Amino acid sequence: MIVPVTLNYAIRLECDARAAQAFVFVMLPARAQQQQLALESLRVSGASAQSIFTDATTATRYLQVTAAGGKLQVELDVQLRLMQTSLDVASLFRDPAVSPLSASESLRFLLPSRFCPSDRLTDFCEQQFAGLSQPYARLRAIDDWIRRHLNSSLPTVALAAQGSSGALDVFDRESGSPADLAHLMITLCRACGLPARYVTTVPLEETDPVGLYPWVEVLIGNAWLAHDPSRRLPRTALLRIGTGRDAADVPLVMRGAVAMAESDYRLRMTIAGLDADVRILRERDGMAAEVCAATLGSLAQAARWAEDANLAARQAPAGADPLRQKSWSRARSPDSPWPSPSSSTTPSEAIPWPGRVSEKYQSPLIDTTPLGAVAGDSGTPLSATAI
């Protein structure tokens, strides 16, 4: 396992809203095995109603707010610990035992999407990457091709709402923002039969960030490997906020069902409290051949854990501390990073739930049809260290 990294980030977002207008924010950290939440403080003002719901497959947490009218303000403070795993490259060159088509989670991220029309680049991939039958060899060839042929030309993060391009446009002009390059990498991977998905994080080195930063996960065997085609952030510091098919699934702010342009809201974001500076994180990144950000089914498992805990918190007797209730979750494995409730659990070690916000578990926001059982889901936690 890579040395854990502690990270603090704060987001302050403000916009004007009409009464009863609905907003969705994708800024809360996902509760996943690879990142342990130590502190989360969420404050919303100017709202008549608010709730949090979690995508059942990706563990993405959506904050839904109904505006009271006037100024709407959202303040979020987070402290978490990243615990990612470095994988042996030799193990990745072995042919996977399970086909990507056999699991609903992997199949979802193998199909074309709005910004990633993978069906349009299958002919190119068959010519460019011909002869590479091994999945990990294809991934390395795609990553190398993007590094040699494309430039990340824009200094800021382009959001889907304000001009994030589709993969075909980026392919033609051979340059783009970090979001554009992420879309192209996802598209090429899917066209080569590799499930890939779009993930958002906080931009560590942006002095005046205008949004969240994108990175890419590609499924090889049972491991979702972390890649940043723009090569701006160390993989050892890639926390998970939103996970989707492309940027359209996880914009920072949606008004109704439409992503908001950055000109329509005022954003202030700070990242602090790193227990290692970015230079050290890059050195660690260089020593890790591949970083496993999740395993197949682990995000769905984490979403169910969080729902168990939240359900017990809502059902706890008045005045009781729900974090000390032993009935709030199923059994956990010894290597699970989630704290097990016990008499020795202290508030600083536990996972505090946001005050004044009810959290509920729902099927995926975009695909509302049931996705079925996730491969590897046996009711016990999956561990990246077991790969």
Sequential DSSP letters for 177-242: -HHHHHHHHHHHHHHTT--EEEEEE--TT-SS--SPEEEEEEEETTEEEEE-TT--S-GGG---S-
- Average of per-residue pLDDT across 14-38: 93
**Contact indicator for 361, 53 with CB cutoff of 8 Å:** yes
Angle CA 168–172–175, to nearest 5: 100
The number of distinct structural domains making up the chain is: 1
pLDDT digits over 166-194, tens only? 888 888 887 788 899 999 999 999 999 99
Residue 67 included in any domain? no
Q: In this structure, is residue 32 part of a structural domain?
A: no
pLDDT over 50 at 370, yes or no = no
How many Cα atoms within 13 Å fall on the side-chain side of residue 268?
A: 6
CATH number for the domain harbouring residue 290: 3.10.620.30
Report how far Cα 170 is from the mean position of its chain's Cα atoms: 23
Of the pLDDT bands very low, low, confident and very high (cuts 50, 70, 90), residue 104 is confident
Predicted local distance difference test score (pLDDT) of residue 75: 96
Assess contact for 215 and 90: CB atoms under 8 A: no
Q: How many CA atoms lie within 13 A of 35 on its CB side?
A: 27
Contacts of 335 (CB under 8 A, 6+ apart): 383, 385
Question: In this structure, is residue 194 part of a structural domain?
Answer: yes
Mean pLDDT of 130-146: 91
- Mean pLDDT lowest among 108-117, 312-321, 347-356: 347-356
Summarised one tens digit per residue, pLDDT across range 202-216 is: 988 766 677 899 999
What is the strand order of the sheet 22-25 is part of? Answer: 258-259, 253-255, 22-25, 61-67, 47-55, 358-362
**pLDDT tens sequence across 213-250:** 999 999 998 899 999 998 888 888 889 999 999 999 99
Residue 270 lies in a domain: no
In-domain check, residue 90: yes
Which range among 52-66, 164-178, 373-387 shows the weakest confidence by mean pLDDT?
A: 373-387
Round to whole Å and give the CA distance between 235 and 256: 33
Q: Is residue 13's pLDDT more than 50?
A: yes
Q: Which residue has the higher pLDDT, 103 or 257?
A: 257
Is 269 a member of any domain? no
Length of the chain (residues): 387
The verdict on residue 316 lying in a domain is no
Asked whether residue 20 is domain-assigned, the answer is no
On the question of pLDDT at 339 being above 70, the answer is no
Has residue 79 got a pLDDT over 60?
A: yes
Please tell me the predicted confidence (pLDDT) of residue 387.
26
Reported as a pLDDT band with limits 50, 70 and 90, residue 334 is: very low
Strand 358-362 with 47-55, pairing: parallel
Range(s) of the domain holding residue 226: 85-247+280-296
Higher pLDDT, 114 or 331: 114
Contact status, residue 286 vs residue 364, Cβ threshold 8 Å: no
- Contacts for 291 with CB less than 8 Å, ≥ 6 apart: 2, 84, 85, 86, 87, 225, 226, 235, 236, 238, 285
Percent of the chain with pLDDT over 70: 74
